[in-house]
Each structure stands twice: as C-alpha cells, then as structure tokens.
Structure 1
Amino acid sequence: MSQLIGLVLVVAGLLYPFAVYFGLEHFAPWQFALLLGSLWLARALTGERKPGRTWLTLAVLGFCALLALLDNPHLLRWYPVLISLLMLTLFGSSLFYGMPLVERLARLSEADFPAAAVAYTRKVTWIWSAFFLGNGLLAAALTLWAPLAWWTIYNGLIAYGLMGLLFAGEWLVRQRVRGRL
C-alpha cells in the first residue's frame, strides 16, 4: 500500500502544474490542498519512518494547511518552489551532516565503494544542490512575475527535462570515470 501511495504522490507531483493550469477553473485552492495534503499524510502514515521524511512531510502539510486556510489560487504556484527548497535542503545538508545523499544512494547498489567514488559522489551531491537552488529560484521568479502558462511549461516540462538531462549526463560521466565507455 505504501508503494502505491508513493507512486500516486510522484504522479501527482509530475502532473501538479497541469492540474493547477487546467483545474483552477473547476476547483478551489482548498480542494487542491485537501487532495495534496491527503496524499502526503497517507504516505506518512503508511510509509517507512526515515529521518528526513518527517520534516519533509511536515513542511508540505504546513503548506497545504496554509493553502486551505487562505484559499488563494496564487499560493498554488509556490508548491514547486517548496519542493525545490526541500530537495536543496535534503541534498545540501547531507554535505555537512553524515554521508552525502548521492553516496548513500550509490551504496544501496554497491557494497565495495573506493575512496575516489566517495569524492565523486560528494561532487555530484554539490551539483544536485546547485540544480535545486537554481530550479527553486527560477520557479519562484516565474511564480512572482510570469503568466501561469509560462509557470506551467517550466514546472511541468522544462524542469523535469533538465533533471533528466542532469541525471543522464551524470550517468554518462560516471560510466566514463569507471572506464566502461
């Protein structure tokens, strides 16, 4: 059940900008907040307890509560900014406390981890942190000053395309560093 809720939450996140763009004529902001908050709460109640997940969930639930209370359609546009800020915090804080996030993820699939790989994963964690900083700033600028259509195109298509390019580029560099290409 937890995996299904996680999958629904990911799909909802991917479709969120389009739901806002097309749904504002039919749904009130408090209804978006109720749906989004319900998904995050269900994930929190059914999912595995992890240290970073609690504050992440509380931040999003706080945003949903604010959105429901104020019922302001402009607030809907701040959700991608919040997610970028939370991802920046997750990646960035791992550079200073504990193991860098990319290293932690890499160790899930590889038991033998040389010192050079540790340094490499630290650099990649810095790159992802920079990406989420830039993405959050651009999403905030579009929220403040751009038409809804521009906001939707960036947050619904371009941002995910950039993430995909960064992921694919990192994978190619990693294969080259390992001598597999």
Structure 2
Amino acid sequence: MRKLSSILLPVIGLLYPFFVYFGMEHVSTPVFALILGAVWLIRAPALLRQPGGHWMLGAALAYCVLLAFSGEALMLRWYPALISALLLFVFGISLKYGPPMVERIARVREPDLPPEAIPYTRKVTWVWVGFFVFNGLMSTALTLWAPLSWWTLYNGFIAYLLMGALFGGEWLLRRRLRKPA
C-alpha cells in the first residue's frame, strides 16, 4: 500500500491537466476537489516526514477545500501554479535553513557526499528555484489569459519536457564534473 501511495500522487499530478481538460464537462469541481484531497491525504504520512511536507500538505488541502466550496471550474487550473509555488517555497527555504534540497536528495543515494559537492548542490538548488519561478509564472499566465488547450499543453507536456531537460542536463554536467582529469 505504501508503494502504491508513493506513486499515486505523482501520477495524478502528471495526468492532472488532462483530467481537467477532458473531465471539466463531466465531473463537478467539488468531486475533483474530493478526489485530489483524498490523494493528498493518502500521501500525508510520507509527506509529513519530508522537509516542507507540513506546508505542502496544508496548502494542498486548503486548496482542495477552497475548490470544493467555491465550485468554480476555473480554480482547477490553478493547481499547477500552486504546486510550483509550494516547491519553490520548499527549495527556497532549504537554501536559507539548509541543507539545500538537492543536497538532501543527493545524500539519499550518497550519504557521505564529498565536501566539494556541497557548493554544487547549492547551485543546482538555485537552478530549480529559478525553474519553479518560471514554471509558476507560466502556469499563472496560462490560467489567466490562455485557452484551456494551451494550459493543458504546457502543464501536461511542455513543463515535463523542461523538467526532463533540466534533470538530464544536470545529470550530464555532474558526470562530466566527476570524471577524473
């Protein structure tokens, strides 16, 4: 069950723009809110053990409550911007109160991270902060001024291509930097 719950939220997040695009005419906004809230509650025990997890869970559940009571279908489109803002907060606050989020992630695979890698993880965390600012602004602009099809294309496809390019580029750079001279 724990494995299923750790996969459920990211999969729902990945498919969320398509659920909104295809489901807005068939599923009421409060039902969307109920399903989304249930997914966050299923994931809650794991989130509460992660840095910033309390904030993410609280904000996501508050959004679900607002969504359920407002019944406004347009509010469904704000979810990707909210997620970007939450991730921006978590990554940004880790830069102030350390260790940087990328260092925390790196230490999962390599607990004895070499000291010279620490400044690098800080720089990569800054890159992700920049990405979350850009992504949040794009999601917001598309929510406010673009048709649903553009919003779906960006939030359901282009944003993930950009994340993949960022992951891939950083992985290639890291491999190059780690090669012995």
| Alignment TM-score, normalising by the size of structure 1 | 0.95
Residue number in structure 1 paired with 2:32: 32
Name the % identity.
57
More off after superposition, 140-149 vs 111-120: 111-120
Matches of 2:100 and 2:16 in 1, distance apart? 29
Provide the aligned C-alpha RMSD in A. Answer: 1.5
Matches of 2:51 and 2:163 in 1, distance apart? 25
Q: Which whole-Å deviations, capped at 9, do the CAs of 1:118-167 have from their partners, x for residues lacking one?
A: 01010000000000000000100000000000000000000001000000
Verify the 8 A CA contact 1:2 1:47 in the aligned structure 2.
no
Q: How does 1:20-169 map to 2 (within 5 A)?
A: 20-45=20-45, 49-169=49-169
Matches of 2:113 and 2:98 in 1, distance apart? 16
| Alignment TM-score, normalising by the size of structure 2 | 0.95
Residue number in structure 1 paired with 2:172: 172
1:37 offset after TM fit, Å?
0.2
More off after superposition, 38-47 vs 72-81: 38-47
Gaps of 5+ in 1: none
Q: Which whole-Å deviations, capped at 9, do the CAs of 1:89-127 have from their partners, x for residues lacking one?
A: 111110110200101111111133223200101000000
1:10 offset after TM fit, Å?
1.0
Q: Secondary structure at the match of 1:96?
A: helix
Gaps of 5+ in 2: none
Verify the 8 A CA contact 2:51 2:90 in the aligned structure 1.
no
1:45 offset after TM fit, Å?
4.4
Matches of 2:120 and 2:58 in 1, distance apart? 32
Matches of 1:46 and 1:159 in 2, distance apart? 25
Matches of 2:111 and 2:160 in 1, distance apart? 30
Q: How many residues in Structure 1 have an aligned counterpart in Structure 2?
A: 181
1:44 offset after TM fit, Å?
1.2
Question: Following TM superposition, where does structure 1 have runs of at least 4 consecutive aligned residues deviating by more than 3 angstroms?
Answer: 45-48
Equivalent residue letter for 1:99: P
